[in-house]
Structure 1
Amino acid sequence: MPDIAETAAADRPSHSGVGGDVRAVRRARGLTLTELSGRIGRSVGWLSQIERGISEPTIGDLRRIAAALEQPLSLFFGENQGPERERGHIVRQGARRVLGSAAQGLTEQLLSPDLSGSFEIVRSVFDPGAELAEPARRPTEEAGYLISGRLDLWIGGEVFELHPGDSFRLREEPFRWRNPGREPAVAIWVIAPPVY
């Protein structure tokens, strides 16, 4: 059951920027304002003000929020600093935010202006030989398009070999991937709701 502050915040227009991204990731993780505020040691009111863009968090606050949401601190930086008229609409190639960690041979960039929409667009680069060995499952619907390279994609228990120009869709199904090739595989993913 959502808490009162959550309901009140939901009645206001969504904001882009750090606050909107915090809200989107918190919701994707299934956390209420009360749960996240407890994890970071701050009040529900303070967190609500951050999410609505009324207050700005310090670097220390952002570190605690990122850790509680299991995301890299860099997710909350790199907001589109282009001309005012482009903010929330355009992401220039040099202004993409890096998502997640490259530890598994996967580098991702956010192509969407922020995480406040109903979906996100991500550019994923899979290193040669990289593999997600253990199946993952997310409460999302996802679709993707392989731009270059090769990618083996397991959906449920079935493996599919993807080549440039192939596309796919997942609906809350367990999945894993492997780049069997000698060159990076590049894919564009659309994920709803946002998970980063």
Structure 2
Amino acid sequence: MQHSRPDSPHTLGADLRALRKSRGLTLSDMAEGLGRSVGWLSQVERDISEPSITDLRAFAALLDVSVSMLFRHEAAPAHEAGFVVRAQTRRPIGSQVAGLVEELLSPDLTDDFEMVHSTFQPHSRIKDPVSRPTQEVGYIVSGRLEIEIKGTTHEVHPGDSFRIRGEAFRWANPFDDPAVAIWVIAPPVY
């Protein structure tokens, strides 16, 4: 049994609870999907029990996130935990398919939104449109990106931003340089 210590913050339980809630799942729904008891799941969400790697794989599959999203990375110093995310300690998220590399900028998933650093590799694209029950705003930091929202394609440049409110979208970077964007997504999906 493991308890949170102030000098070693554990946010896995909080992240799992936030992901569960963002998917509209109750403790009972999640426990049933995992084949585990509600009591065990409650302890995991409160960081009292630590799930095994097999459990993490089951959580990832049920919540539709990558297993790497659930792994703990370098812990922040106690005075920064929950407030600061250093560039070298960002958590990779998403599946990194189609040339997209995403990192979580938010300290955890307990807010009503999440911030994501996205790098779209040159000549990459997502084939099928994505539609999710979120509101999202993207801001282009560098490079250029084509973003198709509700069937209309827009070429966005550094300093440009765009909004998606549940519409089907897809992206492409047909250019020779990577495109970097900052995304704010509500509610958290990773």
Tell me what 2:6 maps to: none
Q: Aligned match of 2:20 in 20, 23, 26? A: 26
Unaligned 5+ segments in structure 1 are: 1-14
Please show how residues 153-168 of structure 1 align to structure 2 within 5 Å.
153-168=147-162
Q: Equivalents in 1 of 2:166, 2:97: separation in Å?
A: 24
From the superposition, tell whether residues 16 and 114 of structure 1 become closer, same or farther in structure 2 (CA, over 3 Å): farther
Gaps of 5+ in 2: 1-8
Task: Give identity over the alignment, percent.
Answer: 54
Note the 1:143-162 alignment, pairs <5 A: 143-162=137-156
TM-score by length of 2: 0.90
Q: How far off its partner does 1:16 sit? A: 6.4
Say whether 1:113 aligns with 2:107.
Answer: yes
Deviations 1:26-63 (A, max 9, x none): 22223222222112110112112211223222222212
Matched, 1:59 2:15: no
Q: Which deviates more, 121-130 or 27-36?
A: 27-36
TM-score where L is the length of structure 1: 0.87
Shift of 1:80: 5.3
One-letter identity of the residue aligned with 2:180? V
Q: What are the equivalent positions in structure 2 for 1:41-190 lying under 5 Å apart?
A: 41-79=35-73, 81-190=75-184
- 2: CA distance, partners of 1:30 / 1:132: 27
Amino acid at match of 1:60: T
RMSD (Å), alpha carbons: 1.6
Superposed CA deviations along residues 52-81 of structure 1, whole A, max 9, x for unmatched, are 223222222212211222222111123451
- Deviations, residues 57-112 of structure 1 (Å, cap 9, x unaligned): 22222122112222221111234512101101110111000001122110000000
Distance 1:115 1:173 in 2: 23
